[in-house]
Each structure stands twice: as structure tokens, then as C-alpha cells.
A and B are shown apart, each in its own frame.
Chain A
Amino acid sequence: MLRAKHKTGLVFFPAFDWAISPTHPEREERLLYTQDQVFEEGILDVEGIIEYKPDLVTKKDVQRVHFCVPDLWAVMTESHFISAGGAKTIAMAVMDKQVERGFALVRPPGHHANRVVHGARGFCNVNIEAIMVEFIRQAYGVNRVAIVDTDCHHGDGTQDIYWHDPDTLFISIHQDGRTLYPGSGFLSELGGPNAVGSTINIPLPPNTSGEGILHAIREVVLPLLKEFQPEIVINSAGQDNHYSDPITNMNFSAQGYAELTTLLKPDIAVLEGGYAIEGALPYVNAGIILAMAGMDYSHLREPDFDPVKIRQSPEVSRWVHKTCDKVLENWHQRRHLAEMYRGDYQFMNRDRNIYYDTDNIHEHQQETIRVCDSCGGALKIDSAARGMKHILAVHIPRKACETCRKQGYQWYDSADTTQYDKIYLQDRTGDVIKEKAEPS
């Protein structure tokens, strides 16, 4: 009987009865051929590859991360409870040491969902990785976490959630934001004033192939992980860098994904995007599972795989190398950059417009963070969605210092309910969720 070198847990939840809309890329059919391939290859029979049935996440699991507007039930469908639950199930299997590693092959995805949620953007409602990470922090006392997002689109939602968290290293490798949704994820995006350098963006030019992506992994991601020393490494395993993906322009392959997984050795991988449902996903997913389990994937390739056709040009290589060098330079100077950024400010503001492409919502945010040397800093977000709700959200980070905690409560307690539709509080020091509103 075949044996996995690394005991690997798998949640496979294709949600065969859920779609954003009948012809949307995020539809019932998305993981159908992946299921066919994984079943036909007999991967689930391998000893040491264990399939788990997903549990549901609780309301609290979601509210620990998100401010859902107007409430949780408006932004979560049954399917989101399961897909986030699938990630949580895998995380528990890893943390309980039932398996060495785990892969949540679930949909719908989550990495475009911000801390404040008015609706769906980039096919995402809630951030399933963040819900999982905050759960394991709460339940298992994990502190330092690295999230490596290898989806072709910038993981802007995860970046937003961890922007001010010095204990979460978020690295996103993606197609340059000037050429692809969501149009962010540039070199200069390095994290908030209390967490400069804990957000790392590696934007790669269109037509980057395996050579370039694996260069970024070897030369940037692995050294950064080594220095950051995370207790746990998570891979947001989007599969839309594939050469056949219909909505992106990269040239990655199933072999490349498997090799990336072998190099990165994530404790937990969570599926994100990837919409070449016939030509890529069946092979990429099989490759990722085999790589996680430490099994041979050398015979795995797409039917139309042609390494010559997808080889990257010297120009692309030069661009990739230059980008990687710049990322490393920023990383090494992060403390200096933080000082310059913070200056003498006690509070810093961010003013942003956020567009929800999936639900066509325009949100305007004004964010205030308390500059703090001792913790992630108290955070206040004033958020208004055009023609919809206006809320105030206060976040007190997990390891908040007493001053920031007090600041958070002062913001929450003094907020005027007549000014907002709702006022929210996440006090992560005590895992307390509160909200208040004018009686309607």
C-alpha cells in the first residue's frame, strides 16, 4: 500500500450546490474535475492522507476577525460557514497533531475579504484564512504566524486584516497590480506604522513562469520566513498563476505548484482562486496534495503542458530579479523605514475608498491607529458604504498594551450611536465582541 511521507489532512469541500451566479467563475462546476482527478488517481486511498469532514465555524469565530455590516447573517451563507469551517477543521487536525500538514480544498475563497465586510468583493465574503488563524491563536495560544499568499491576485483582504499586526508576516506573490484586479500589492505596501515589514508584496510581471515564481520563493520568501521564525506557515494556495487561467496572465504549471509547495513546506494550505477548472485545477490540486504528503509528483503534468511555450523571456527574468532585490532591501531597512514613517505622530490616519466588484458596493473608510511601541495599536475604522450603512468599528489587538486597550474602550464607549448605524468592538485581549446601536 502507498504511504505518505508526511501525514497529511485534507478537507475537500467542492460545494457542488453553491454558486455566486450560474455563469460566475465561482460556481458549482469549479472543483468537479478536480474531484474526478483526485478520485481517479486514488490519492485518498494513500495511507497517511486523511480526509476530514468540515465542521462549521461559529458566529464568534467570524466576529473575532470581521465587522459584518449590517450583521453576520447578511454576509455569510451556509457555504461560507462550511468553507471557513473546512480551514478550521484542518487547522485543528494539524494543531492536535493528528496530521503533520493539512490542505483545505474548499470554496468559496476568502483572501479579498477585509476586516470590515459590507458584501462580497473578488468573489470573497469572509476571510477564511484569517478566521482560521485567529481561531488557532485563541484556542492553541499560537503567536507568530506567516501567511504566504500565492494566488495570482494580491491578497488585499488578508493584508488589510493583518496590516497592523507585527506578529503576522503576510507575504503576497501576485501579478503586478497595474495589470490585474484588485490593483494593489505594490512594493511600497509594507504594513502600518506599528508593523512595518510584516506585510511584504512581491508583484511580478505578466508572463512570469515557474522560474520567476520559484526564484521569489527561494530568494525572498524562504529567507524571510527563516528570519521571522513563525510557529506556523500558512499558504493561501490560489491556483490562478496557471498558464491556462482565463482571467490572469501568468505561466505557472502543476509541476511548478508542486515544487513551490515542496519548498515552502506550509503547515496548512487553503485553496483560494483558480478558474482554469478543467485544464489546471485537477492537476495543480493533485500536485499540491502529493507535494504536501511528500510523495512523488514527477509524472504529473497537464495534457497540453509545453515547457517551451511558457518559458519566461529574459526581460521578465530581469524584472523579477530586480523586484526581489528591492523587496529584500525594504525588508532589511524595515526598522529605519518605520521610524521615518511614524515621525512624531501619536495617531495616524488612512483614508481609503474600497470597491466591492462582486456586489458593486462603494465603501469609504477612515482608519485611525494609535502609534505604539508595545503592541499592534488600538484601531478605529469609520466606514460608510454608499447608499447603505455607516458604522464605527474598534479593534483592540490580541496583545494590546494597557494604554491601547483603554484607548479602544474610550473610542467605543464615547461613540455616539446617533451618528452611526452600528458601533462595534473587538477586544481581542479578552476575546470580547460587543456592539451597540440606537434602538430602531
Chain B
Amino acid sequence: MIIGLDVGGTHTDVVLLGQEGLVRQIKVPTNPSDLFATVLTGLEKITEGIDPARISRAVLSTTLATNRIVQGRIPEVGMIVSAGPGMDPELFRTGPHYHTVAGAIDHRGREITPIDEDQVIKVAEDLKKNGIRYVGVVSKFSVRNPAHEVAIGDLIVDRFEKVFLGHRIAGGLNFPRRIATTYLNASVYPIHKDFFEAVVNSLAKKGLNVPIRILKPDGGNMRFDASIDHPAQTILSGPAASVMGSVAFAPRDEECLVLDIGGTTTDMAVLVNGVPLLDPMGISIGEHQTLIRSLDTVSIGVGGDSAVRVVNGKIHIGPDRLGMAMAYGGPVPTPTDAIFLLGIGEGGDPEKAREGIQTVADALGTDLQDAANRVFEQACRTILDEAESMIGRINAKPVYTVHELWEGHRLQPRQILVLGGPAPWFAKGLERLSESRITVVPRWEVANAIGAGLARTTCEVTFFADTERQIATAPEERFSTVIPSTYTKEDAIKATLDLLRRKAIARGANPEHLELEVIEAMSFNMVRGFTTTGRNIRVTAQVKPGLIHGYDPIAEKIMDNSFT
């Protein structure tokens, strides 16, 4: 059996999944100041009376690191950055302990300026003197040649508790994002490590030796031990949990839109043939733009509990939530109150809901029914409009080949999957306004936790070969080899998939059922003078985000006794 646990802002959802389907589902209140207690309570409750040996894994999606980053409650870490010519590296300063040092590498991975060992050691001593325990090392183009990062790392590794090297964090080009991502990894490391070690130990003391996995924002998971070196890859996994919860019920042969409508926000994502689309760059959190792989999701401030106001005769919904709906004792009217008044849903105190909507009606100079209708319709309309602009943005994504531009496919989802607390109610409103088929995801109120539980292990490999320089390298995987000048794109693809297979298994994937996919494979003839001097080959491959092998029976059973 599998446990899925998703920590939300107000509630933490936990499910237990087995061959018989959804065995158990619980909700525990989230205590933001003690997430450890929240997670532990959730895990204890869901396993009450269950033989721990029957539980193969528990997949957790927590807001721990995310909250600490957003609130700035992270330890001070040191950064050693070698940039060489280009943008001023001072622009990417992460904090007081940010040092730029000598050293430069060009776009093909050739050394332009060596590092200065004495300078590095002086910086390290300075950091040490300031009580720094965690350090990030980043050089420009380190994903083409990690030599400088490795050399700096070797020089300082003995002086600090943990040193993170930029090229090991992600394979893509983007120096400022590499700095930010490495910085976040170093900052989040002690928080992440202490938290999950405590969870594992506490469970062990209670006789619950459950293997722990952590959900990532790309909709995949990784084993807890693998996450120690990539702690920042666990942030902002919440939207991914919900998206993965809808995947089992998404059409396999067309595009669809996923809407996770919560109390405060609505998260949106797109599934193409059941596979969620990834953000081409990486997550942004607070002021940090990163290389952390993520599903392409958009979050807007419209949900069931959004505050409804009337300003100059116009209805404004959200983006804030001031509490629950008035029907449940909240302070201001909300779309949920409108839903209750319209009889689309039932709950709380109808008199309070009426009171709330009456203030809206008065401000608009209309009757109750009309006010409720307008509030509800505007909430639904806003969600659909924002979804449309998200699709527009994805379709406007630049491409770099004639073929892609000419043959380029445009997304046109014709189905919308809805989940989250008020999903069935909103579905009724969306149906009225949209031509798409609207489907409520079975077990919509815990689909997020189900998604966390059923998500597979994902990862990505970026590979680079230069036959003129006779090197092939995937620095993130610590892979580098000499290649003959006859090396081809096909060779590169084979090597990439091999690295990916090994990486996925090490991170916890099922070796029997790996769904590997080449995302990009390009080979350029390098011509100097009028002679071809080599080939410049770039390959990227990934484990597609998706559900673990053998989930179908579980999903079917969940579907059998679900909301329809």
C-alpha cells in the first residue's frame, strides 16, 4: 500500500491507497508553526491498525522549505561565484556572504582564465570566520565544463558542512538561475535534512519503518536519501500533487486543462495526452528565479473563499481570502456564499450567506438572486479567462527551428478537469460559460494526496558532445568521456538514455517500467573556414511525469465509487 500526503495551507490531506482502491482518507488541520507534528499526526492516523510491512512507501508533499524561503527564515550561506566577462556578477548577489572570484570558461567549455587558488582559500577563510556552514559554488558555463567548480569545491570542502556545486544542481544554461538555485539548495539543506530525519526517526520509534519519498514540483518523486543533495527540488510541490491527482482520469488521446479550485486560489495546468506540460525554465519563488524543474502551472487569486467586494458598481473577487465563507462564520461575502444562495451547493448557515450576499446586492443596486448570480458567474468567468491566457502564453512560446515554427502545434484543450474543495459547485458554473466538457475529478477533495501517492520518480539528463574537442559530458551526472571524431547524434542519444536510466533507478524509479523520452536532440556541423571540423551535439532526455506502473486498477476502483 502507498501513503500520499499533501500539506496545504489550512488542511493536510492524507490517503492510503491499495489494490482495493482508496482504503482510507483523512484530513488533519495544518499547524504552520509545527509542520513536523502535522505530518507525523497525519502519518500516524492513516496507518492506525494497518500492518506497517504492507506499506511500500509514503510520498510527502510539504510546504516546509517553501514557507521558510518565502518568509526569509533560512540560514545565511556562502556563495563563491566565478563569472568572467559578461553581465556584472554583482547583479546576482544572494546576500552578505557572496564572493566573486577569478576564473572564466566560454560557451564551448574552454578555459579562458584559470581560478586563483589563494583567492579562493582566502574567501573560504573569510566565510568560515563568519560562521558559515553551507556554501554554494557556481561558475559561468559550468554545465559545459565543471572544472572550476570542482576545483574550488575540492579546495574548500573540508572547511564546511556541505558544499553545493552549481553543475550538479541542473543541466540547463542560465548562470543567474544557477546561482539562485545553488543558493536555495545550500540554504534549505539543513532545514530539509533535519525535518525528514526527524520524521523518519519518529516513525521508526513507533515501529513504522516506511520508506519516505518526497514529491517535487515537476510531478515526480524521489527517495528521501536522494533528496539530501537536491533539497530545493522539493519546494512548491503542492500544485503538482493536484495535477498528478487528475492524471489518472485525463483523456489519453487529447489535451485537457486542469483546474484545482481551492479556498484562496485556483491552480491551472495543461495535460497533453495525459502528460502534464513542464515549465521550460524553472520555478520562481519570491524573488528567486530558479532552474528547478516544475510543471507549468499558474496560480490566480480566485477561490471559493475569495473576498468579494463591490467597488464603483463593479464586483471584485479576491485575490485575497479574509477567512471562511460567511455561511461558515467568515467576515466577508465569498463565492461560496453565492453558491449556497443559488442552491448550487449546500452548507453552513444559509441565513449568514444571505446576509453576506445582501450587502453585495445593495452595493450593486440589485436583488439577491441577481447579485449571487453575478458573483458566481464572474468567479467562473475569471478562471476561464485566465486559463485562456495561460494557453495563449504556452502557444506563444518561441521555437528555434523552421520545422517547429511551420508545423508548430497549437494547444486547444476541449476538456476541463476540476478538483479541489468546491470543485462540483464550480463545475456547474463553468459548464454554463464554457464550450469545453467539464469533468469533476473523482475524489476531488483528496485528489491532491492521491496524486502525490501515485506519482512516479522523475528526472532529466542534459548531455553535450563536441567532436572537435573530442569530449562528451553530462556534468550534472559527473559524466565526462573522450569520444572519437566519428561520434554521432545517435551515439549521444544512447549515452544520454543510459545515464538517465541509471539516474532514475538511483532516485527510486521502478527499473522494470521506465518511460524515458528524448526531449531534444540536435547536431550541428561545426565549420571553420570551409571545412567541417566537428559536430556539436546537444541531447536532453527525461522520465516523463506520470503515474507509477500498475495504478490503473487503483484508479478504476477510485472511479467506481466516486462523485458523479
B-binding residues in A (CB < 8 A): 1-2, 11-18, 22-23, 27-29, 32-33, 35-37, 39-43, 45, 51-54, 78-79, 82, 246, 278, 282-283, 286, 290, 296, 298-303, 305
Q: Given A45-B177, A296-B88, A300-B85, A12 and B524 touching (CB < 8 A)? A: no
Structural contact, B527 and A51, CB atoms closer than 8 A: no
A40 touches B141 (CB 8 A): yes
Asked if B173 and A36 sit within 8 Å, CB to CB, the answer is: yes
On whether the beta carbons of B174 and A22 are closer than 8 Å, the reply is: no
Please indicate the chain B residues that have their CB under 8 angstroms from the CB of A246 in the complex: 529
- 8 A Cβ contacts from B83-113 to A: 83-88, 91, 104, 106-108, 112
Interface residue stretch chosen among B59-67, B200-208, B351-359, B400-408:
B400-408
Contact A12 to B532, CB < 8 A, known contacts A23-B527, A42-B175, A296-B88: no
Closest to A19 in B: B525
- A-B interface, 6 closest residue pairs, ranked by CB to CB distance from nearest: A42-B176, A36-B107, A39-B173, A303-B112, A40-B173, A17-B401
CB-CB < 8 A to A305: which residues of B? 85
- With both chains docked as a complex, state the minimum distance between the C-beta of B51 and any C-beta of chain A, in angstroms: 50
15 extra interface residue pairs, beta carbon distance < 8 Å, beyond A45-B176, A296-B91: A13-B405, A16-B522, A17-B402, A36-B173, A40-B175, A41-B86, A45-B174, A53-B405, A78-B402, A78-B405, A246-B529, A278-B108, A286-B86, A298-B88, A303-B104
How many A-B pairs have beta carbons closer than 8 Å: the answer is 120
Known: A40-B175, A54-B405. A14 touches B85 (CB 8 A): no
Among A15, A282, A298, point to the contact of B402 (Cβ < 8 A).
A15
Contacts from B to A (Cβ < 8 Å): 83-88, 91, 104, 106-108, 112, 140-141, 172-177, 281, 287, 289, 396-403, 405-406, 522, 524-527, 529-532, 536
Q: Bound state CA distance, A303 and B114, in angstroms?
A: 12
User: Contacts A29-B527, A29-B536, A299-B87 known; A18 to B174 CB distance under 8 Å?
Assistant: no
CB <8 Å contact, A52 and B106:
no
Q: What are the residues of chain A within 8 A of B530 when measuring CB–CB? A: 23
Q: Contact at B406–A78, with CB atoms within 8 Å?
A: yes
CB contact under 8 A between A40 and B107, given known A12-B400, A15-B402: yes
Given contacts A28-B524, A33-B107, A40-B107, contact A18 B402 (CB under 8 A): yes
Check B400–A299 contact: CB distance below 8 A. Answer: no
Among A11, A13, A14, A300, which residue has its beta carbon within 8 angstroms of that of B86?
Answer: A300
Per the bound structure, the CA–CA distance linking A79 and B396 in Å amounts to 18
- B524: chain A residues at CB < 8 Å are 16, 28-29, 32
B87, B172, B406 interface centre (most CB from chain A within 10 Å)? B87
Given A22-B532, A296-B88, A300-B86, A28 and B525 touching (CB < 8 A)? Answer: yes
Contact call A17/B403, Cβ cutoff below 8 A: yes
Which residues of the other chain, A, contact B400 by a CB distance below 8 angstroms?
A: 12-16, 35
Residues of B within 8 A of A278 (CB): 107-108
CA separation between A26 and B87, bound complex, in Å?
28
Q: Kindly state the separation between the CA atoms of A41 and B83 in the bound complex, as whole angstroms.
A: 10
For B174, the chain A residues whose CB sits under 8 A away are: 39-40, 42, 45
User: In whole angstroms, what is the CA distance A220 to B86 when docked?
Assistant: 30
Contact A16 B401, CB 8 Å, known A2-B91, A32-B524, A296-B88:
yes
Nearest chain A residue, comparing its CB with the CB of B142: A40
What's the Cα separation between A62 and B70 when bound, in Å?
Answer: 52
Q: How far is the CA of A42 from the CA of B166 in the complex (A)?
A: 15
Beta-carbon contact of A299 and B85 below 8 Å = yes
Structural contact, A282 and B107, CB atoms closer than 8 A: yes
How many angstroms between the C-alpha atoms of A41 and B532 in the bound complex?
28
Sample 17 A-B pairs with CB under 8 A, ordered by A number: A12-B400, A14-B400, A15-B400, A16-B522, A23-B527, A23-B532, A28-B525, A33-B108, A39-B174, A40-B86, A40-B175, A41-B87, A42-B87, A54-B398, A296-B91, A299-B83, A300-B87
A227 to chain B, nearest CB (A): 37
Determine if A27 and B527 form an interchain contact, defined as CB atoms under 8 angstroms apart: yes
B399 and A53 contact, CB distance less than 8 A? yes
B88 → A minimal CB distance (Å): 5
On whether the beta carbons of A15 and B401 are closer than 8 Å, the reply is yes
Q: What is the bound-complex CA distance between A296 and B85, given in angstroms?
A: 12
Given contacts A36-B173, A42-B174, A45-B177, contact A301 B287 (CB under 8 A): no
Q: A51-B398, A303-B85 are in contact. Are A1 and B173 (CB under 8 A)?
A: no
Docked pose: A35 CA to B172 CA in angstroms: 12
User: Which residues on the A side are within 8 Å of B526 (C-beta)?
Assistant: 29
Distance (whole angstroms) from the CB of B201 to the closest CB of chain A: 40
Across-interface contacts of A296 in B (CB, < 8 A): 87-88, 91
Measured between alpha carbons, how far is A17 from B87 in the docked complex, in Å?
30
Residue of chain B at shortest CB distance from A301? B85
Chain B residues lying within 8 Å of A37, measured Cβ to Cβ, are 86, 107
**Residues of chain B within 8 A of A27, CB atoms compared:** 525, 527
- Chain B neighbourhood of A53, CB < 8 A: 396-399, 405
Q: How far is the CA of A53 from the CA of B393 in the complex (A)?
A: 10
Chain B residues near A42 (CB-CB < 8 A): 87, 174-177, 289
CB distance from A35 to the nearest CB of B (A): 7
User: A43 vs B174: C-alpha distance in the bound complex, in angstroms?
Assistant: 9
B405–A82 contact, CB under 8 A? yes
- Of A14, A40, A282, A298, chain B has the most CB atoms within 10 Å of the CB of A40
Q: How far is A401 from B345 in the complex, measured between Cα atoms in Å? A: 72
Partner of B398, one of A1, A12, A22, A23: A12
Across-interface contacts of B91 in A (CB, < 8 A): 2, 296
Chain B residues whose CB sits within 8 angstroms of the CB of A54 once the complex forms: 398, 405
A43 neighbours in B (Cβ, 8 Å): 87
Of all chain A residues, the one with the shortest Cβ separation from B110 is A303
Closest residue on chain B to residue A29 by CB atoms = B524
Q: How far is the CA of A299 from the CA of B401 in the complex (A)?
A: 31
Chain B residue contacts of A15, Cβ below 8 A: 400-402
Closest to B175 in A: A40
Query: What is the distance, in angstroms, from B231's C-beta to the closest C-beta of chain A?
Result: 23
- Which residues from chain A contact B397 at a C-beta distance below 8 Å? 53
Complex CA gap A34/B519 in Å reads: 21
Residue of B nearest to A305 (CB): B85
Cα distance A40–B177 in the bound complex, in angstroms: 9
How near does chain B come to A27, taking the closest CB pair, in angstroms? 7
- Closest B residue, CB atoms, query A79: B402
Chain A residues contacting B106 (CB-CB under 8 Å) are 303
Q: How far is the CB of A57 from chain B (nearest CB, A)?
A: 13
Q: Do A22 and B525 touch across chains, with their CB atoms under 8 A apart?
A: yes
Contact B525 A29 (CB under 8 A): yes
Question: Which residues of the other chain, B, contact A283 by a CB distance below 8 angstroms?
Answer: 85
* A388 vs chain B, min Cβ distance (A): 27
Closest to B530 in A: A23
- B175 and A41 form a contact (CB under 8 A): yes
CA distance A42 to B529 in the complex (A): 31
CB <8 Å contact, B402 and A82:
yes
Contacts of B401 in A (CB 8 A): 15-18
Least distance between B277 CB and chain A CB atoms (Å): 16
Which residue among A12, A53, A286 has the maximum number of chain B CB atoms within 10 Å of its CB? Answer: A53
- A residues in contact with B399, CB < 8 Å: 53
With a cutoff of 8 Å between Cβ atoms, the chain B residues found around residue A18 in the complex are 401-402
Output the nearest chain B residue to A38 by Cβ-Cβ distance: B173
| Complex alpha-carbon distance, A23 and B402, angstroms | 19
Report if A1-B287 is in contact (Cβ < 8 Å); known contacts: A27-B525, A39-B173, A53-B399. yes
CB distance from B491 to the nearest CB of A (A): 19
Q: How far is the CA of A40 from the CA of B462 in the complex (A)?
A: 15
Least CB distance, A412 to chain B, in whole angstroms: 35
Q: Which residues of A contact B281 (CB under 8 A)?
A: 45
CB nearest neighbor in A for B86? A41
Q: Which residues of A contact B88 (CB under 8 A)?
A: 296, 298-299
Chain A residues contacting B529 (CB-CB under 8 Å) are 246
Question: Which A residues touch B85, using CB under 8 A?
Answer: 283, 299-303, 305
Give the CA-CA distance A37 to B84 in the complex, in Å: 12
In the complex, A73 Cα to B217 Cα: how many Å? Answer: 47
- How far is B42's CA from A418's CA once the two chains are assembled, in angstroms? 90
- Complex CA gap A298/B85 in Å reads 9
Which residue of A is nearest B87, CB measured? A41
- In the assembled complex, the Cα of A79 lies from the Cα of B177 at a distance in Å of 32
